[in-house]
Amino acid sequence: ARILVGFEMEKGPAPKKGCRVIWNTKEIGNVTSAVNSPTLKKIIGLCYVPVSMRNPGTKFEIEISHGKLFTATVVETPFYKG
């Protein structure tokens, strides 16, 4: 089973819907949405991952273009708490 989680990225372009989520060289999910947040100064998004990877701080990679991988980290949502 998979669960929708929030993620953030410090580097790279914002992934598009459908980009593959990779962990340990295996595809484990996909991105549903992402955007570059000027307020938070990082990329934030949502993706599906296995339930076992739902904990904040869990790291994985997102394949963004032609096999380029960028590190992402699971974070709690909502992203901004004002």
The tens digit of pLDDT for each residue in 15-32 reads 999 999 999 999 999 999
According to the model, what pLDDT value does residue 65 have?
84
Q: Decide: 8 and 22 in contact? Cβ < 8 Å.
A: no
pLDDT digits (tens, 9 = 90+) for 38-65: 999 999 999 999 999 999 999 999 999 8
Instruction: Report the C-alpha gap between 68 and 1 in whole angstroms.
Output: 26
pTM of the complete model: 0.93
Burial category of 7 from C-beta neighbours within 10 Å (exposed 0-12, middle 13-18, buried 19 and up): buried
Residue 82 confidence (pLDDT) above 80 = no
pLDDT digits (tens, 9 = 90+) for 63-72: 998 889 999 9
